[in-house]
Amino acid sequence: MTRTADLWHHYGRIRHTTDRAVPGEFHWSWGQDSGPGAELLGDLDGRCVGDLGAGAARQASHLAVHHHPAGIVAVDASPAQHAMACDLYGHLAPRLRLALCDVPAHLRASTDTYDVLYSVFGAVDFTEPRELLPAAASALRPGGRLVFSTLAHHLGGTPAHPYVQHTEIGGKTPDGTAAVIRRWVLREHVWTKLLDEAGFTRITTEVLPGGPGPRAADTLLVTAYRTQEPHTV
């Protein structure tokens, strides 16, 4: 069986060599420079928190250092991103645990484990939502919170999809060969319907305006809670 190429091998490598600090702030916006912060996650004292598609685990390291969760698990399926996270923030164990794993598989194996799950342009963007969202609901304890930021429209300004459809974007294999990555860029009502079907309630959305520039983008910020009753998928 051929192992799937790591299409995130090249992502963030320059920053990895120049910025090794634990971030002093937590941002949801595409530009990582404005908008609300970690307060959207609620009081994290003594809580079990999961970062879905954590990449180099910068947001997770911030929460581990500047807040007081019982523990935070930063999950990512990319060996390259996991290796960078271990190099940057492995010293924050055991409060921060870095897990190299397929995100839906991790969630399905973690029933009723988490109080809070979040994704900052992470696994929610790059995983079939009809697979990921029910798995996230099952991994949360009843009443647990899911918060994620995603693109409110495609880069370049094309509107988000009005139904569940992925967009193919460019990526590279470790040897530099061009490849395709699937990304879900969906309108607010589509995310709301998907979350409701997955077993979430109290769903709210907010658009954070992007700044100027050709690569600027508005951010769709979504908060939802697992229903108090068990949900059957």
Q: Mean pLDDT over all residues of the chain?
A: 91
The pLDDT of residue 14 is above 80 = no
Which domains, and CATH codes, for the chain? 1-107+131-144 (3.40.50.150)
- Separation CA 150–CA 159 (nearest Å): 13
Q: What is the pLDDT of residue 23?
A: 93
Q: What percent of the chain has pLDDT over 70?
A: 93
Q: Do residues 129 and 104 make contact, with C-beta atoms less than 8 angstroms apart?
A: no
Q: Do residues 124 and 53 make contact, with C-beta atoms less than 8 angstroms apart?
A: yes
The pLDDT of residue 133 is above 80 = yes
The pLDDT of residue 5 is above 90 = no
Q: What is the pLDDT of residue 233?
A: 46
Taking only the tens place, the pLDDT of each residue in 150-167 is: 999 999 889 999 999 999
Q: What is the pLDDT of residue 1?
A: 33
Nearest C-alpha neighbor of 46 from the set 72, 65, 25, 22: 72
Q: 156 or 193: which carries more pLDDT confidence?
A: 193
User: pTM of the entire structure?
Assistant: 0.93
